[in-house]
Structures are given as C-alpha cells and as structure tokens.
Copies of this chain bind each other. A is one copy, B any other.
Amino acid sequence: MDLTERSPIMKVIIVGGVAGGATAAARLRRLDENAEIIMIERSGYVSYANCGLPYYIGGTITDRSKLTLQTPQSFRNRFDIDARVRQEVVAIDRAARTVTVRRLDDGTEYVEGYDKLILSPGARPVTPDLPGIDAGRLFTLRTVEDTYAVADFIDREQPRRATVVGAGFIGLEMAENLRERGLEVTVVQRGEHVMPVFDADMASLLHNHLREHGVELLLKADVTGFEETSDAIFTTLADGRVLESDLVMLSIGVAPESTLAREAGLELGMRGSIKVDATMRTSDPDIYAVGDAVEVTNVVTGSPALIALAGPANKQGRIAADNICGRESEFGGSQGSSVLKLFELDAASTGLTLTAARAAGIDADAVILSPANHATYYPGAETMTLKVVFERGTGRILGGQAIGRGGVDKRIDVLAVAIRARMTAADLTELDLAYAPPYSSAKDPVNMAGFMIENILDGLVDQVTWDEALELVAEDGDAILLDTRTAGERSRGGIEGALNIPVDELREHLDELPRDKRLLVFCASGLRSYVACRILSQHGFSCANVAGGYGFHTQVKRGSAAPHACVGDCGLPV
C-alpha cells in the first residue's frame, strides 16, 4: 500500500478519545499513513485509565500521571493524530458530512467536515430525577475529572461516612476504595443482591465479604431522594429510613450516551443505544459507532445486549478502523466476561447467569463446586466457589461464575473461551490445561465442572438446590436430608432433622434408610454426597445430591464467610 498510489486523502473524525475511540484512531493511522484523523474528546484527557479511577481514589494508585499516560501531544507524535480535548461534538449534519464542535472552555463552535465518522461517546452514569440529585456532596465516577473531584473532596473535607448507591462494578470498587481511605461505608442496592452478573446465591458470598470488611449493606432498598446541609448529605429510602453521610457516590448503572446519534437520526437499539452491524457501522454508511454506547449481540443468546466493558470497546474500535480502511472485519459479539477485586476476594463471571439463562427461555441448570485453586498438598491452596451454567439436553456451557482468592480469573477465562467455542460439558472434561501443584490440580476445577455436568446429563445423579431441598423436606415429608459428613464435621454445625451417616459407613447402614422417601444427600461440598448418591441409587433408593453442599449453604443462607472446603475428607479420586 504505497501512499503514492492513494488518493484522495480520507478525513476521519472520531467522537470520544478513550478506549474504543483511541484504539480506532491508532489503528486508522497504522492502516492509512495519509488519512487526516481528528479525535474529539469532551473531557480534558485522552486514552486515560478509566478502569483505574477508583484505585486512585483509594490510594492504591498514587501517581496522578499514571492515570493519564497519554496526551494529545503523544498521539500527535506517535500517530500524527489531531486529538482535541475539552471539545464536544454537538451536532452531526449527515447530508453535508460535517459535525459541529463546541469548545467547552469558551463556548465557541466550529464546523468540521468528515469522510467517515466514528462515534465512541461511551455511557454516562445514570442520574435519576430525584430530589437533591444535584447536591455538591453527591458524586458520580466516569472521567479523570470526576476522580479528582472525589479525591480532592476527601482530602479537603476528611469525610468519615460515605453512602454508595448502587452495587455494580463501580459501586463495589468505590465501596472498597472508600473503605481503604478509612471511611465508614454503607452500600444501598435496590435489588436483592449486589452485582447482577452473579446469581443471588453466588452474590451472597460477596455480601458476606463486604460485611466482614465493615461495609454496611442495605439490600432491596430504594432511594427516594437526597438532602444536603452545610456538613452532611442525607439519603432517604422508600421505607422512610434516612442515611446521614458526608458524601454520596451514585453508581446505579450507566446509559448509552446516544443523544448525538439520536438527534442525527441514526437508528437506535435497546435502551437508547446506537444500532450497528457486525462491521460497527450505523444506519448511516459513513458513520461507525463503538464502545459502551452501542448495542451488541450477546454471543450466548444471540440476542441484542448492552455490555459496557473496556475489552469489547477496544476490539470494536479496531474493527471500525479496519472496515473504514477497506479491510473486512466483524465483531462477533460480547459475552460480558468480567472480574471484580473486592478486598481479598476475586469475583469473575462470563456468559449467562442461571437467572439470565432461564429468563432467556433456555432450559438451563448449574453445578456448584468448591475446588481448591491448586493442589491442596502444596502450601497456600485456597478454596474457590465455582458455578457453571449449562443447557440441559445439549450440555452446552452457557456461563460461569467464580469467587475466591487466586486462580478465579483463570478459570473464568478458560470458561469464556469454551463458551466462545460453543463447547459442551463433555468438551470441558477433555480440556488439557497446564498442571503443576502450585497452579492447579490434575483435574482442574473446569474439568471437574465438566464431569459433574456430564454425570447429571447422563442420569448418574439427580441434583436439587438447597432451596428446593429445604422446601421438599418442609412440605410433604416425602423427602429427608441425609448428611454424609463425618461426626467431627457435624459437631461444627449441621442441619436439624437430617439423618447422619458418613459416606464411608454408608454401605453398612443401608438398612436404616427409608425406601419410601427421597433422600436429599449432602456433604461439605457435594463430592462425597455424589459418591453416596451413586451407592444409594444403585441399591434402589430414590435420591438427589444437594448442589453446593453444606459449605455453600452456610455461606448463602447463614452469611458465613468461613471457608467451606472439606477438610481432608474428600481428597479421594473423583
């Protein structure tokens, strides 16, 4: 592609200079040395570390310059890109192929023509129309400026108490980071649990950990307004409670920043997002859009979705640039892989939760296991909780959630690739993963999940959830709980009314078990109870394994944050 062969010069304007926009700009230049590339960013910073912002507030990142390594000058030097900050594109004239740009510092405007336009406006924090929403002590977090505002407020006012409204990624990262700064933190969440990318049972592990770290957590709590005084802000809940704090962090979600696209008459998708095809092109052939503002396809369901994450945004930016430069390139969709650090916990997820899968009309089920992150005989092993969602019938893997301390992101990434490749449980059992004692087990947790799903699909074992088990036992008396843990384990806690027979003594005590009742079998994690179910069903008993075991039960139902591994009792080959 010699420049001398090219003409005329293409002019590309990019709206938004972070993630997708910045990536698109750089890729454009690499593909076309001759193009005129203008990147217009409303904030004062380009290509900044937006996922790092909460950690600057918390003090983990101490150097301001680390958040903003790139500058308009560095884009100019490296890529010959004209990056204009504190300027906002306020209108698109599609017929004329021009945009109107406002200089935010003086309000003046100018018009700039384009051959191709890339919209990378991102998503804005949702700020509902509530009384007091404009309070000075109420903050949202999106830009570097927002970050400095919160950090400066903390430095200046030395607040003692914070209310965080909304418990998604930003909300929980802020809760952690405000706690790291020594504040008392209350998290208010409208839903039943934090982090919608987890099912309620898994999210309860996060609840426990938040409380362990002194975060007050108010669930099913609806905020009706804010009231500010000279030295405090009061958050009112629908049930009448009033929370007094020194600052409020509002993080109830984001909405696509699509005003510009809408006003230009571009086709919109769900919840006001910008509609694009797989090449990231909007309904106007000269306008592309990328990042948090666009509607994507959820690769698991095939349905439209809004997924505001940095990874897809960056990939989309590159794809838009490719297509603008005549290189065929398509975005295959998102699956929402994500990971959250919450104090000492790692919490990662990919694909569909069980709740989401069923809401999408899929006949889905899930297994729950509590494997160690590496061989337990090697020092430092930590138990994680892993939930893998699958489609009944086909065994297709639909999603994964994992919470633990170490090795969690690895298993979710492995599952992410498996989901991308449309793998089934049988495929998971075969995955050949790198093993040595400091890193994994000969049967990796992902292999184990595959084995467990296969056993269910093959009819080797029935499974019930704790909710189902407790309901069955309470309701009709036709079911009974069977605890297959050792006497030592039972002495540290158990379920009233359960029969107690350790799995290793089960064969000698079969006579004592009722043949007219369904036996709902549990151990600490679900492994020994599975062995027990195999013994029982082959001896003609009706039985089911209670998913997750007693350890999961104590965490979900009782708020225990204690580790729930079997201690030396379930290490036999599985």
Q: What is the interface of chain A, defined by CB distance below 8 A to chain B? A: 1-4, 19, 22-23, 25-27, 29-34, 47, 49, 51-52, 55, 60-61, 66-67, 69-70, 74-75, 77-80, 169, 299, 309-315, 317-318, 327, 331-332, 334-341, 346, 348-350, 375, 377-379, 409-410, 412-414, 416-418, 420-421, 423, 427, 429-440, 442-444, 447, 451, 458, 460, 503-505, 507, 530-531, 534-535, 537-540, 568, 571-574
Contacts and interface: CB of A to CB of B under 8 A. Distances in A.
Contacts of A314: 442-443, 573
Q: Which has the most chain B C-beta neighbours within 10 Å: A69, A412, A434, A539? A: A434
Contacts of A433: 311, 337, 413, 416-417
Contacts of A318: 429, 451
A430 B435 contact: no
Contact of A337 (B23, B435, B505): B435
Given A311-B443, A413-B414, A432 B337 contact: yes
A339 B434 contact: yes
A531 B78 contact: yes
Given A346-B439, A375-B51, A427-B420, A311 B444 contact: yes
A572 B315 contact: no
A516 B334 CA distance: 46
Contact of A573 (B47, B377, B416, B418): B47
A332 B378 CA distance: 29
A152 B78 CA distance: 62
A60 B335 contact: no
Given A30-B531, A410-B409, A436-B339, A572 B70 contact: yes
Contacts of A534: 29-31, 33
Nearest to A539: B3
A327 B69 CA distance: 58
A378 B4 contact: no
B67 A574 contact: no
A423 B61 CA distance: 37
A49 B432 contact: no
B451 A377 contact: no
Contact of A432 (B311, B327, B409, B442): B311
Contact of A310 (B27, B33, B435): B435
Shortest 7 CB-CB contacts between residues of A and residues of B: A421-B421, A33-B538, A339-B434, A77-B504, A310-B442, A417-B417, A26-B573
Contact of A26 (B29, B379, B442, B572): B572
A161 B60 CA distance: 45
Contact of A2 (B30, B80, B341, B540): B540
Given A49-B375, A78-B504, A412 B434 contact: yes
A51 B378 CA distance: 10
Given A74-B504, A311-B444, 14 more contacts: A19-B442, A25-B573, A26-B572, A30-B534, A49-B437, A55-B378, A66-B377, A77-B505, A78-B504, A339-B439, A349-B434, A409-B439, A418-B421, A421-B421
B1 A538 contact: yes
Nearest to A312: B432
Contacts of A74: 504, 572
A339 B438 CA distance: 9
Nearest to A33: B538
A437 B51 contact: yes
A331 B447 CA distance: 13
Given A2-B538, A458-B327, A61 B378 contact: yes
Given A413-B413, A420-B427, A535-B33, A435 B309 contact: yes
A432 B30 CA distance: 24
Nearest to A49: B377
Nearest to A69: B571
A299 to B, nearest CB: 7
Contacts of A60: 378-379
13 contacts: A2-B540, A25-B573, A26-B572, A30-B531, A32-B538, A61-B377, A69-B377, A69-B568, A311-B447, A314-B573, A338-B435, A348-B439, A413-B413
Contacts of A350: 432, 434
Contact of A3 (B33, B70, B540): B540
B437 A52 contact: yes
A234 to B, nearest CB: 32
